[in-house]
């Protein structure tokens, strides 16, 4: 599982709104109007989330008449297996704590 | 989300079918400080593991053949113990080589190497973990973390479970 492929997937999945959009798309394709309905968020904001999901390969978009429909793409999610999501979460949070600790140590070398 | 400074993300490489995880991460600090953060107990327990887990260091004997053991305790009181041995004397030049065993999966041992490369005023920390099997690699995180999964991940797990059907 090459990192290059997974990094945008994990970044895309890190956001709760985007996870909710994916969950909605599991019930079938939808346009931006339908996707923004559950959120207190403008359509342009939802469109930006859709763009991130599309760039990560998690959704694809097509036009039907005037509506632009989003579809879920399953493969990248299958590759981002649960254990690796947890591994990343464990280390990303640890390393963020380490960033803070290092900043404090450099202010006060005695630690 | 909403961090005061821009945090770099760890690079993680985990190839399918190969029982190894390679990780690298850049830090805005000299490598001497990183080495201290990895080897001094009082510092280690301030950063290793998610915030919701309390870290209790039972022993951490940083020398060739020295034993280490720590416990992650979650907010429900569930404990996850880990132990292993240092191989070679940990140093800035050679890094840290240690075995790692989750006490919930006795007999499954991982060999880890962490190195610290100074690059200007930053340090690149590299970690190379080798497991006895791909199953061990994938199970290590699953079993070690099941006590307290974030809501976001629970939702993601549900999503993944539904996609596997």
Complex ipTM, two decimals? 0.79
> Within B40-150, where are the H helices?
41-44, 134-145
Task: Kindly report, residue by residue over B77-94, the tens digit of the pLDDT.
Answer: 888 899 999 999 999 999
Chain B nearest C-alpha distance from A64 (Å)? 26
Question: Is pLDDT at B18 greater than 90 in this prediction?
Answer: no
pLDDT of residue A4: 53
Write the pLDDT tens digit of every residue in A5-61: 567 777 888 788 898 898 888 878 899 988 998 888 888 999 999 999 999 888 998
CB of B43 less than 8 A from some CB of A: yes
Strand ordering across the sheet containing B20-27: B11-13, B20-27, B122-130, B109-119, B96-102, B79-85, B67-73, B54-60
Task: Indicate yes or no: CB of A89 within 8 angstroms of CB of B150.
Answer: yes
Report the C-alpha gap between A74 and B160 in whole angstroms: 9
Query: Within an 8 Å CB–CB cutoff, is residue A75 touching chain B?
Result: no
Is B157 part of the contact surface with chain A (CB cutoff 8 Å)? yes
Please count the residue pairs, one from chain A and one from chain B, whose beta carbons lie less than 8 angstroms apart: 125
Angle of the A3-13 helix axis to the A43-55 helix axis, nearest 10? 160
Contact B159 A95 (CB under 8 A): no
Q: Which long-range contacts (CB under 8 A, 24 or more apart) does A45-50 make?
A: A46/A17, A46/A21, A49/A15, A49/A17, A49/A18, A49/A21, A50/A21
Residue pointed to by tokens 């923004």? A36
SS3 of residue A6 by DSSP: helix
For A3, nearest residue in chain B (alpha carbons):
B13
Check CB contact of B55 with chain A, cutoff 8 Å: no
* SS3 category, B2: coil
pTM above 0.80, yes or no: no
Where does the pLDDT of residue A85 fall: very low under 50, low under 70, confident under 90, or very high at 90 and above?
Answer: confident
């Amino acid at each position: 599982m090459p990192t290059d492929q997974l990094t945008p997937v994990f970044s895309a999945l890190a956001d709760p709104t985007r996870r909710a959009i994916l969950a909605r798309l599991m019930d079938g394709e939808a346009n931006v109007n339908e996707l923004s309905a559950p959120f207190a968020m403008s359509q342009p904001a939802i469109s930006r989330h859709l763009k991130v999901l599309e760039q990560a390969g998690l959704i694809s978009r097509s036009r039907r008449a005037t509506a632009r429909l989003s579809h879920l793409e399953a493969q990248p999610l299958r590759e981002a297996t649960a254990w690796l999501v947890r591994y990343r979460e464990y280390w990303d949070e640890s390393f963020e704590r380490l960033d803070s600790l290092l900043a404090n140590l450099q202010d006060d070398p005695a630690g | 989300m909403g961090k005061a400074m821009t945090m770099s993300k760890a690079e993680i490489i985990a190839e399918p079918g190969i029982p190894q995880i390679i990780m690298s991460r850049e830090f805005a600090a000299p490598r001497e400080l990183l080495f201290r953060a990895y080897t001094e107990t009082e510092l280690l327990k301030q950063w290793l593991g998610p915030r919701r887990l309390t870290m209790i260091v039972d022993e951490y004997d940083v020398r060739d053949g020295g034993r280490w053991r720590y416990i992650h305790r979650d907010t429900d009181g569930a404990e996850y113990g880990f132990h292993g041995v240092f191989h070679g004397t940990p140093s800035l030049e050679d890094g840290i080589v240690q075995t790692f065993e989750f006490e919930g999966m006795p007999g499954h041992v991982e060999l880890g190497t962490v190195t610290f490369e100074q690059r200007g005023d930053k340090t690149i920390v590299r970690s190379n973990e080798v497991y006895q099997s791909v199953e061990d690699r994938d199970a290590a995180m699953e079993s070690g973390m099941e006590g307290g999964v974030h809501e976001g991940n629970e939702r993601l797990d549900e999503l993944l479970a539904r996609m596997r059907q």
